[in-house]
A and B are shown apart, each in its own frame.
Chain A
């Protein structure tokens, strides 16, 4: 006979991880990110890159856009994806693309080859999980920045969006006085970036298969984080806060579960460095 005894779980202090600006990361850090993505791509199951990309597009299409769930759903999506990355490499986080200040797609995502190897951040295969492939589907991601001349090109900090009263995009977004106003402004700038990048990024069906997608959404999420700092009381309304969001893996999350990024294990920084402490 075996006696099973319930023990109290051991407590550990949690350490937040830092999401960094991709253009401020060292070559070693970017290569580590590349390896983590390649590691996810090699997993043909519900831990793999294609699985997560399929939540947003083919085949699951459970993303939220143009409504009050846009920001929290994508924050939860990044949380799940980042855990997938960290199953490959616990030290890797999703980087952010500073399209407010950078005039182009960051170099780490643009260069075709790195050390004679294909740069996975420039183009990734599209192999949706669990659904027969159609010959009409794209086989890999590509981009055509600027091909859509009607979308505003980065850098967008001073770009004037309609209704901004002449304010630059950043000041306009941050001046939002309510969550409703804030998500709407973020969504408009976000949509513009997707369409400016072009290629698969401009189609919800395929956008998340492009590694740039995650950096784009980390930037949107970062703006929400900054705005939360500046307007700490400006929460979504109660009904929104207690709404469940649909994801294809546990944990399921309510909107209120993703309000505080610390609870999801990360913070944002331009750069991060540390040295061992002393005892």
Chain B
């Protein structure tokens, strides 16, 4: 059974007609629960469970290759732990969230440069395609345009 996550509609002050490129950016995507693939749809309304790449509101997908189950001791995969001192020059934790951007210009054009965006995502855990809950976690969704 597939489940879908739909973000709140994003009322965009951007005139999509006057820009050359539009990116959708998932900010601070978590990488601490195993590899996964996310399917992204824009203004798709109610999606059938089997909606895929051929759906006309499909905007793209991304796959994140990351670590599965934590094999270390307590706190080993705690990516939120910061530097231990002002002299700590070690790189950030391997599981620190990342931003993932997608160029959705074509999709926005295809659906007529809408004033509002509703983004629906289906994220599926690698190795367990039916699992989708909690697979994609991120802090913010943004749309950016470029002249």
- A residues within 8 Å of B by Cβ? 57-59, 61, 63, 65-67, 134, 136-137, 144, 147-151, 161-166, 188, 190-192, 194-195, 198-199, 202-207
Q: B101 — which chain A residues lie within 8 A by C-beta?
A: 163
Whether, in the assembled complex, B112 has its beta carbon less than 8 Å from a beta carbon of chain A, the answer is: no
Q: B65 — which chain A residues lie within 8 A by C-beta?
A: 65, 190-191, 194-195, 202, 204, 207
Known: A134-B71, A144-B127, A205-B67. A162 touches B35 (CB 8 A): no
Whether, in the assembled complex, B47 has its beta carbon less than 8 Å from a beta carbon of chain A, the answer is: no
Task: Given contacts A57-B67, A66-B64, A151-B63, list 8 more A-B pairs with CB under 8 A.
Answer: A65-B65, A65-B94, A134-B71, A161-B60, A162-B59, A164-B103, A203-B67, A204-B66
Interface residues on B, range: 20 to 34
Complex: chain A residue closest to B39, CB-CB: A150
Contact between A58 and B37 (Cβ–Cβ < 8 Å)?
no
Complex: chain B residue closest to A187, CB-CB: B65
Contact between B71 and A188 (Cβ–Cβ < 8 Å)?
no
Contact between A192 and B102 (Cβ–Cβ < 8 Å)?
no
Known: A202-B65, A204-B65. A195 touches B35 (CB 8 A): yes
Known: A162-B59, A191-B63. A151 touches B126 (CB 8 A): yes
Known: A61-B94, A163-B103. A150 touches B71 (CB 8 A): no
Contact of B66 among A65, A149, A163 (CB under 8 A): A65
**Interface of A, helix, strand, loop or mixed by DSSP:** loop
Q: List 13 A-B contacts (CB under 8 A).
A: A61-B67, A136-B69, A147-B129, A148-B37, A148-B126, A149-B129, A150-B37, A161-B60, A163-B101, A188-B62, A195-B63, A195-B65, A205-B68
In the bound complex, CA of A204 to CA of B37 (Å): 15
Contact between A58 and B126 (Cβ–Cβ < 8 Å)?
no
Interface string of B87-113 (1 = CB under 8 A from A): 000000010001001111010000000
Contact between B71 and A148 (Cβ–Cβ < 8 Å)?
no
Whether, in the assembled complex, B61 has its beta carbon less than 8 Å from a beta carbon of chain A, the answer is: yes
Whether, in the assembled complex, B34 has its beta carbon less than 8 Å from a beta carbon of chain A, the answer is: yes
Known: A58-B71, A194-B65. A166 touches B127 (CB 8 A): no
Contact between A205 and B129 (Cβ–Cβ < 8 Å)?
no
Interface string of B48-91 (1 = CB under 8 A from A): 00000000000111111111110100000000000000000000
Complex: chain B residue closest to A190, CB-CB: B65
Q: A58 — which chain B residues lie within 8 A by C-beta?
A: 71
Q: B64 — which chain A residues lie within 8 A by C-beta?
A: 66, 191
Which of A151, A195, A203: most chain B Cβ within 10 A? A195
Whether, in the assembled complex, B124 has its beta carbon less than 8 Å from a beta carbon of chain A, the answer is: yes
In the bound complex, CA of A150 to CA of B101 (Å): 18
Complex: chain B residue closest to A199, CB-CB: B127
Q: What is the CB-to-nearest-CB distance from B85 to chain A, in angstroms, rounded to a whole number? A: 20
Q: What is the CB-to-nearest-CB distance from A171 to chain B, in angstroms, rounded to a whole number? A: 15
In the bound complex, CA of A67 to CA of B23 (Å): 19
Q: What is the CB-to-nearest-CB distance from B115 to chain A, in angstroms, rounded to a whole number? A: 23
Q: What is the CB-to-nearest-CB distance from A71 to chain B, in angstroms, rounded to a whole number? A: 14
